[in-house]
Amino acid sequence: MTAVSIFSGICCGEKSIVTRLVSDTGYKLMNDSDIVSEASTLSGIPPQKVKRAFSAKTSVFNKFTHERERSIAYVKLALAQILSEENLVIRGFISHLIPKEITHVLRVCLIADMAFRIQTAIHGHNLSASDAVRFIRKGDEDAAAWVHGLMEVNDPWDPVLYDMLLPTDKPGQTQVVERIREGMKNEAVKATARSKRAVEDFLLSAQVEVRLVKEGHNVGVEAKNGDITLTINKHVLMLNRLEEELIHIVSQVPGVKSAKVDVGKGFHQADIYRKHDFETPSKVLLVDDEREFVETLSERLLMRDMGSAVAYDGESALELIEMDEPEVMILDLRMPGIDGIEVLKRVKQTNPEIEVIILTGHGSEADRETCMKLGAFAYLQKPVDIDNLSRTIKKANEKIRQRKASGER
């Protein structure tokens, strides 16, 4: 049976159209939220973190943690498992993860002109006209970043991505649903032995990708009748050793007949391929107004495989914490604007799970006592021995890991 995937710009009236289509066909509806929930169950990653994979704004720590890539790997696995069913309507960002080789999926895009979308946002979300525009633009930015990241296509509404590109603001909803149902009858989107085999290939590639991300690897995966091709898109210092490790991991996945490693077009870029070590701190926020010092410290931590982001004042640090989720913070006390003690106080009120290490050159014994009472993990003085700081960060990270393992905050 033909499945239908639907991708839409926000505020294009897509919800009522999808509801009508599902009602008329009796098909099962799978939204992004359904697949995210299943991916969360499979991975243990909280749903809100999995959902962030669809956002244009990637975590500042992602180049160290690969959380986005891990989330997408599990989303693919959840989607691949669902695609083995029949009579599906798949709606949302996940529709773009369906490989083009699965030809029994009718790919539909719903879009409307901006005036219609603004009015829909105003009435449907109780927004002002200016807020409606910002709301729609944010949604379009997420859509564009998602599509570009997957297929290097800049326009998320590009007709090349879909079988049908349908305006929702001109014909009525009944006509839109009728056109989709007519498209479902086309022989080109009927299930064949080849397209069903492509679903099996997609499931195997997703299983392989999940196995690799569990081991800290981030490479492209393609499956064809049990044969796996892995593609490396970053420079590798010891390619042969990495190839051996990847093939060893992949060969243990049930259903894999063979595995080989290729290098992609990004292989010669400057970025160095790094296997992610889940026990090494990779979400460290450095907060210090001494730019040269903090940038040098970030580089020295990176040499020890610790990923970090930098903020140069308390206000910026608090804003970053609202948008992202550092696990360990290295915090100076004397800064312009909001000082370190106030930052520590606010962080422990709003995000008590963040372990804060005070690193200052101007503190007193009274400051130390105040910081420890407020919940600081440690209090260190500048100049700091980098090995001592590294050990302290690892101890803080170990405390976080133990707390997560026990289910505590």
Output the pLDDT for position 192.
Answer: 94
What would the pLDDT profile of 194-239 be if each residue is shown by its tens digit?
999 999 999 999 999 999 999 989 899 999 999 999 998 877 767 8
User: Could you tell me if 61 and 1 are in contact, meaning their C-beta atoms sit under 8 angstroms apart?
Assistant: no
User: Please, what's the b/e burial string for 16-30 (b: 16 or more CB within 10 A of its CB; e: otherwise)?
Assistant: ebbebbbeebebebb
For the segment 4-29, the average pLDDT, to the nearest whole number, is: 95
Q: Is the pLDDT of residue 251 over 60?
A: yes
Domains and CATH numbers, the chain: 3-189 (3.40.50.300), 215-276 (no CATH), 284-406 (3.40.50.2300)
Output the pLDDT for position 270.
Answer: 52
For the segment 118-143, the average pLDDT, to the nearest whole number, is: 94
Q: Is the pLDDT of residue 272 over 60?
A: no
pLDDT band at 325 (very low <50, low <70, confident <90, very high): confident
**Residue 185: DSSP 8-state:** T
CA distance 265 to 299: 27
Give the residue from 388, 278, 401, 251 showing the smallest Cα distance to 330: 388
pTM attached to this predicted model: 0.81
User: Could you tell me if 382 and 296 are in contact, meaning their C-beta atoms sit under 8 angstroms apart?
Assistant: no
DSSP strands (E only) in 60-121? 88-91, 105-111
What would the pLDDT profile of 347-366 be if each residue is shown by its tens digit?
999 999 999 999 998 888 99
| Peptide bond before residue 383 is cis, with ω within 30 degrees of 0 | yes
pLDDT band at 58 (very low <50, low <70, confident <90, very high): confident
Q: Kindly state the tokens that stand for 251.
A: 């060969």
pLDDT band at 273 (very low <50, low <70, confident <90, very high): low
**Residue 84: DSSP 8-state:** T
Output the pLDDT for position 404.
Answer: 79
What would the pLDDT profile of 365-388 be if each residue is shown by its tens digit?
999 999 999 999 999 999 889 999
One DSSP character per residue, 28-70 reads EEEEHHHHHHHHHHHH---HHHHHGGGSSS--TTHHHH-HHHH
